[in-house]
Amino acid sequence: MSSIKEPKLSMIQSISELAASLAGTTLAERMMLELPILDTDEKAYALKISGDEVESAWRIARACLSQTQRWPVAVGSWVENWSKWPEQIARADFFSRFYYEEAPNPVDISPRGLCRLADRVDVPAFLERMAWDRTQEKALYGDWGDIDPKNLAPEDARLPWYQPPTVALLFLPTIHCWDTLAYLNWFGTSDYGAEYYIALGRSWEKRFGAELVAHYGTILQCLVSRPPQILGDAETLAQEHDLASPCTLAQPGLHILDYAKGLVGCDRWALQENP
């Protein structure tokens, strides 16, 4: 018996195609803008949304991924005057490669190059390396001291989702959510290189169904379809969050066990790393 292969959909390459993909949704008539991705022949598309509709708009765009072939991610635009939204977004410099150049070994800092490097990352070895480096830092500079678990309410142990006043929803030229870190710099990646965090994020997606929804430079926000259900798994994940983004657990008096308890069954994460 012969089988009929479904035609492979191609990535949309124009604002009109994006609008057609979103037809029939509440995003269909929004203002859209084409943005070049620096030092590449690729481009992204920005769609105007407000801060209070990040999750709902992202879910609509995520459901259209098979048509757009572009991963949607919310970014902060900090626009004070919405009538100037196109000019502000065009000047936002989302795709600057400056911080990628600060990585310890910037062999290939192009988005596609970083994704290829991420394919070769040994995630367990990377976690061990970060743990070792953390141990050395504590030996040199000391620690905050012993903190006992406080039995906090789960919502008090987690960072709340940040909601900027105005955002844009970017449609990036990839179908893989964690490849976003190859296009948009997250502050937390500069110590080792973005490729390591792309690989770690892919590991979280595989194990927990963690998909990147918003990227605000120092903050990443994820929706999680298969969060840890037992404390042991949550403790392991909490340690990974602490290694990858120490500011996430830097709340005064927060013990990592409190944070782990907050991850059990939690379908959304907020990871923060500041200068």
Question: Residue 180 domain-assigned?
Answer: yes
pTM of the entire predicted model: 0.92
pLDDT in tens, 95-130: 999 999 988 888 899 999 999 999 999 999 999 999
- Specify burial of residue 139 (Cβ count, 10 A radius: 0-12, 13-18, 19+): exposed
> Containing domain of residue 54, as a range?
29-272
pLDDT in tens, 169-185: 999 999 999 999 999 99
- Residues 28, 61, 185, 165: is their CA dihedral positive or negative? positive
Question: Residue 73 domain-assigned?
Answer: yes
Question: Residue 6 domain-assigned?
Answer: no
Question: Residue 72 domain-assigned?
Answer: yes
Question: Residue 196 domain-assigned?
Answer: yes
What is the C-alpha to C-alpha distance for residues 4 and 35, in angstroms, rounded to an integer? Answer: 37
Question: Residue 11 domain-assigned?
Answer: no
> Quick check: 5 pLDDT over 70?
no
What is the C-alpha to C-alpha distance for residues 233 and 208, in angstroms, rounded to an integer? Answer: 10
Question: Residue 12 domain-assigned?
Answer: no
Question: Residue 4 domain-assigned?
Answer: no
Query: In total, how many domains does the chain have?
Result: 1
End-to-end CA distance of the chain: 61
> Quick check: 272 pLDDT over 80?
yes
Place 227 in a pLDDT band, splitting at 50, 70 and 90: very high
